[in-house]
Chains A and B, each alone.
Chain A
Amino acid sequence: MKLLFSLFLFVCIVGQTAAESCSMPKSFTGLTLLIRVDGNYSPENPMAGTLQEMTFNRLNYKSTIMNTRESVEGSYRYTHLDTNLGQLNMREGVGDDLSLYTETFVCETNTTGYFIFSQTKGTIKPDVRQNTGIYVIRK
């Protein structure tokens, strides 16, 4: 019984520490992010290995592929889901060139962590595809 209790306490404390170790920003306005896409190329990850810089103002964002300096723009909505979890909802292009995707962030520190990219419709096929990577908040 004592063992069970101390184990429970241990997990509680460790769990608590882990959850409070970082926080996602409350807003993305004015932020600059570096996105490093996972390096393994696959049909779901055609942008493998690229480094992208994303800048955000209140409603719109600009994403530049730093390896080629090509850029795209779109509108976004950011939701702060939990202390260490946030999600961007992106809308890029129009008509046949419309891309809709989300980037879900889990922080490791206040400035860096991992993301899951999840597209439902896009110019880069297949429409439905996912991949992961690392993000860094530059400022």
Chain B
Amino acid sequence: MRRGLALPIIAVLGFAFLYAPIISLVVFSFNESRLVTVWTGFSLQWYAALFQDSQIVSAAILSLQIAATSATIATVLGTLAGLALTRLGRFRGKTALTGMVSAPLVMPEVITGLSLLLLFVAMEATFGWPSGRGFTTIVLAHTTFCMAYVTVVVRSRLIDMDRSLDEAAMDLGATPLRVFFDITLPIISPALISGWLLAFTLSLDDLVIASFVSGPGSSTLPMVIFSKIRLGVSPDVNALATIIIVVVAIGVAGATWFGMRKPKNR
């Protein structure tokens, strides 16, 4: 009896610890009052106010564009890296590449951001590209660290895949390129979708790296929120945060779902 109760209690406490802050934020986004800490009644006014704030709307659009672009590039590059690590057999520097590909996962964001900023400045000074900082530099920076995540996802899927599927296609007359598009790609596609969603979410979330490599007029949504918070917490930020939570939750859930889907015949 005791043992039967202990587990649910621990679970509830654990979940409360994780989600109480988020729930309070969501609840207060529907608050009527201007004061963030006092509940006066239900209202959607802060959501309305949010969509009238042109700074936030344009930052959101920019963030979505950056996220979509860098997720797409990261997926292509990450897939290539995953293929190189699993399909090229043994080559010089394979171990080093395996380690280096996952390094951005553990690198402090401040360091990644700073080093990228230095690189972009040096590149501009040397051959004039990228001129200034903005959309391009943020996309490049996000692609860099998102690619690492995509590589990990795609690589594990490729390791699971039966090599003889590729060989069978080749045996039946498909050239290596054909094999990739007919067999490999369809079979690893859940991993690609999952990797893309993960990259999209990560890019949308990022504040630190974007702060380093963005320029005037190219503030992403997290940057706008952060600067607003510094002037005091206003309820419209709660509303914005709620929307972001919903979008990110959908992204992560989608990534997990596609990642877990496996071909049944193996």
Is the A/B pair a real complex?
A: no
Chain B positions near chain A (C-beta within 8 angstroms): none
